[in-house]
Amino acid sequence: MDSYDVVIAGYGPTGSMLAVKLGSCGWRVLVLERQGPSYPLPRAAHLDDEVCRMLRGIGIPPSDIPDVIEPYEDFYEWRDADGDPLLRLDWRGRGPSGWNVSNFFHQPALEDHVRRLASAMENVTVRRGHQAISHTSDCDGVTVHVSAGEDAYQVRGRYVVGADGAHSVVRDWAGTRMEDVGYFSDWLVVDVIADAAFTVKPPALQICDPRRPTTLVPAGPGRRRWEFMRHAGEDPAVFGTEATAWQLLRSWGVSPDNASLVRQAMYTFQARWAEQWRNGRLILAGDAAHQMPPFAGQGMCSGLRDVMNLYWKLDLVLRGADNGLLDTYGPERSGHVRDFIGFSMELGNLICATDPEAVRARDARMKAEAAEVSDLPPRPLPRLGPGLHTGQGCAGTVAPQGIVCAEHAQGLLDDVIGPGGGAHRTSGRTGRRDQRPACRAGCRRCPHRRDWRVARRGYRRGRRWHLCCLARPVRGAGRTRPPRLLRVRGRRRGPDGARSRQAIPRPAPISTGHTGEER
């Protein structure tokens, strides 16, 4: 029987990102994907600055794939049935992670880029058309029973991660209950490639018209998406058809003469999360652990955040750290994702309102609020749930990334001291000093701790490193959000005290003697 360090069930965005992250740590990874060819149709269309930072971290900076990811530099406007504005969210500029706060992309193309990285790794094996069916667990690992067409076989994994989507079988194996907080009515999602002449201003719109709540957003270069809510009385079989899609698009001046239909599909949006994200050697990530209505564009982003929280903990545990470290993964991620689920539901409640009285009250309230505060910035990212961080001040919030300059390099922090997408601060008070990067783990064996120490040592000044971390607005580096970004100035001195132009060293891998850590 073949044996792996980690078996991942599911090769969607979550599974493929996890395969890349664990693969680059040197672990033997097997990915099982029940579908033969890749799913060719996009679901997610929006990603945020934190995901851009993660992509940069695996060597796919969004700026290198402009045909796939398009930074958004405009407002996201909500309008009432008469077309009057209810709310304007300012989605321009860069977010705390140093990339555009809002980006629209073509999901299948992005997934191809990530999967190409995974396939290029010798220690990562991907088996398509192979479905995880059942399992047996013991104290050393998990045996997964796999079905592949006519064939059936078994594989061993020291850990199994269920990145197998909303109907996760791994979740069933783990015996996890889902906390379900409701669902929203069905929506018809329609993607088109429209004539270059077709424009809408601003390109991202929410039409809060009770006759037909509609979302209209870009969907990656050259593509557009419409989402139309189905009313309770409408027949789902008819509403989900191509004919309905064209009929609804007509009011936007879109027809087969000026656009081609990429797809139309109906989705029932759900809001739920797993009560337990890990049971022994079975771990959940992505849609297997949580689902939310897509009104905030955060489902896939949340799955990728799961990966960033999980991969380094799994890496350390596979190297010999106490597996109790993995117990912090679920509570940290669950607390964070529940905030987004709640936010998505709040948006959904506003967007999906059809009762005339409720709609009138909503419109009056939103217009009054808009008169007081116009052009709202995006809301701050939530904090991780309880786990490794202290829970005080800014601990558990995302570590911001600014433009930094050191003697040898200048650019985004990750470009200067190495990738750090998904980094969260583990401790700190609010205020200027807290803009310093902190060890994301607070764990003595965390390899990333050394990255951050480079900066911290410098902050103290003196000794070998002369890196100074200051928190102050960086002017001329795009819009800064939050107002304080990290600025690192630094120079390194050699043992003789002379300045050196050597790059800041990457941390050495921790040695445990396990073959999986060979890089």
Ligand X SMILES: Cc1cc2nc3c(=O)[nH]c(=O)nc-3n(C[C@H](O)[C@H](O)[C@H](O)COP(=O)(O)OP(=O)(O)OC[C@H]3O[C@@H](n4cnc5c(N)ncnc54)[C@H](O)[C@@H]3O)c2cc1C
* Positions that interact with ligand X (CB under 6 A): 9-15, 32-35, 39, 43-47, 131-132, 163-165, 169, 189, 267, 286-287, 294, 297-301, 303
CB of 301 to ligand X, least distance (A): 4
> Per-residue DSSP letters for 68-116?
TEEE--SEEEEE-TTS-EEEEEE--SB-TTSSBSEEEE-HHHHHHHHHH
Q: Which residue, 113 or 453, is less far from ligand X as judged by CB? A: 113
Least distance in angstroms from the C-beta of 303 to ligand X: 4
Question: Quick one: angle between helices 13-24 and 299-319, nearest 10?
Answer: 30
C-alpha torsion angle, residues 308, 314, 320, 326 (rounded to 10)? 100
User: d(Cα 373, Cα 343) in Å, to the nearest integer?
Assistant: 19
By C-beta, is 10 or 428 nearer to ligand X? 10
**For residue 5, which of 307, 284, 315, 305 has the smallest C-alpha distance?**
315
Report residue 197 as tokens.
């002449």
Q: How far is the CB of 186 from ligand X (least distance, A)?
A: 11
Closest CB to ligand X among 249 and 488? 249
Q: Which DSSP string do the residues of 335-363 spell out, in sequence order?
A: HHHHHHHHHHHHHHHHHT---HHHHHHHH
Q: Which of 65, 114, 106, 40 is nearest to 307 (CA)?
A: 114
Phi, psi of 509 (to 5 degrees): -65, 145
* In the complex, minimum distance from the CB of residue 12 to ligand X, in angstroms, rounded to a whole number: 2
Q: Given the complex with ligand X, which of 227 and 407 has the nearer CB atom?
A: 227
- Nearest residue (CB) to ligand X, 225 versus 440: 225
Q: How far is the CB of 55 from ligand X (least distance, A)?
A: 13
| Residue 474 CB, nearest approach to ligand X (Å) | 28
Q: State the nearest-atom distance from the C-beta of 104 to ligand X, in Å.
A: 8
Q: Based on CB atoms, which residue is closest to ligand X, 132 or 381? A: 132
Q: Which is nearer to ligand X, 220 or 458 (CB)?
A: 220
CA 243 vs CA 193, 235, 475: distances in Å: 17, 13, 51
3-class secondary-structure state, position 248:
helix
